[in-house]
Amino acid sequence: MSVVTEEIRANASEIYKGEEICQEQTKLFLTEIGLPSRILPLKDIEECGLVRDTGFIWLKQKQKIEYKFEKIGTIAQYASEITAYAEPKKLKRITGIKTKELLMWITVSEVKVDDSSIGKLTFKSSTGLHRSFPISAFEVTKPEEVKGTKSKSNTSSEVK
C-alpha cells in the first residue's frame, strides 16, 4: 500500500512523472537542501513529488533495487517507494531505505550533513545506530545496479 495518499498529492507543490524529469528534479532538490545529489542512485523513477509546506518528499520507482557504493563498500537497498521529510542538510523520517551492516539489513531513518568542516554524511537508524562517511563517497558517476531489471521509462511530466 502506498504511503502517498490522494490527500498528500492534492497538497503537493510539485509532482513530476517520468524517469528523466524525476532524476533531474531529485538531484536539484537534494542540492537545494545541501545533500549530495547522488545519495539516491535510483533507476526507473516513475514519479516524484514535494509538499513544500511540510518538506514531505516521495519517489516511486518501478521496483526495489540494491546499489553498492564502491568507495565505502556498503550496499543499500531502495524500495519501490521512498519517502522523507526534508530540512536544510537533512532528510528525516525516511521510509524505504535500508543498508547492509554485517549480515543484517538496517533501516535508515535519517541522513544529515555534519556541520563540521570535515564533510561527513551521517546515517541514523530508528534504533539509535549511526554511521558517518565522507560526502565524496556519494559522488558517483553512474549508478550500478546490484539486483533488479531495466525497464522502459515514461517521459511525461506534471507540475502542480
Percent of the chain with pLDDT over 70: 85
pLDDT tens track for 20-60: 999 999 999 999 999 998 889 888 999 999 999 999 999 99
Cell of 88: 536544510
Contacts of 143 (CB under 8 A, 6+ apart): 41, 42, 43, 67
Q: Tell me which amino acid residue 84 is.
A: A
The reported pLDDT for the residue numbered 138 is 84
Q: How far apart are CA 151 and CA 137, in angstroms?
A: 27
* CATH number of the domain bearing residue 107: 2.30.240
Enumerate the H helices of the chain as residue ranges: 6-11, 19-32
The more confidently predicted of residues 117 and 107 is 107
The answer to whether residue 52 sits within a structural domain is: yes
| Per-residue pLDDT at 1 | 56
Note whether residue 77 is domain-resident: yes
Residue 70 lies in a domain: yes
Q: What is the pLDDT of residues 129-149, one digit of tens each?
A: 999 999 888 875 554 444 444
Q: How far apart are the first and last CA of the chain?
A: 23
Q: Which of 56, 46, 44, 45 is nearest to 7 (CA)?
A: 56
CA 29 and chain centroid, separation: 11
SS3 94: strand
Assigned domain for 1 exists: no
Question: Is residue 101 predicted with pLDDT exceeding 60?
Answer: yes
pLDDT at 159: 45
If one counts the domains in the chain, the total is: 1
Range of the structural domain that residue 137 is part of = 6-147
What integer is the mean pLDDT of 93-113? 94
In a domain, 17, yes or no: yes
| 37 domain-assigned | yes
pLDDT higher than 90, residue 97: yes
pLDDT for the residue numbered 158: 45
Residue 155 placed within a domain: no
